[in-house]
Amino acid sequence: MTDRIERDVWLPASADDVWDAVLEDGWLADEVELELRPGGEATFRTDDTLRTGWVEEASAPSRLAFWWAEDGEPATRVELTIQEHEDEVRLRIVETRPLDVLDLVGTPLPRSGGRTYGPALVAA
């Protein structure tokens, strides 16, 4: 089962302005640090909450995809897509947890010749 949250926000702005606003402190978190390249580090801090992760894709001003997680929590993938439509911009936000298989780490799995354990998969 995949957990998914999806939202569309329509904004009276340009794609460049929305891109800049999304990356500034205050939108994704109070403090945001992103290395805008595949594999770049990502840090998001709000009050006492710290989420860390990595950037999967950054294509200004249309697409940003990254992974984030609080310490000890499952990682989720966030994808922001910015599309211009006449005099408005649609910002689509999709957050998913596609790596439910990570829950199997350390779970006994049947196999011929006896029991084995799930592979140690790492999301980030």
pTM (whole model) above 0.85: no
Q: Provide mean pLDDT across the span 39-67.
A: 94
In this predicted model, what pLDDT tens digit does every residue of 59-107 receive, in sequence order? 999 999 999 999 888 888 999 999 999 889 999 999 998 665 455 444 4
Residue spans of the domains in the chain: they are 3-99
The beta strand positions in 1-124, using DSSP E, are 3-11, 31-34, 41-46, 49-59, 63-70, 76-85, 88-97, 108-111, 114-117
Q: What is the CATH number of domain 3-99?
A: 3.30.530.20
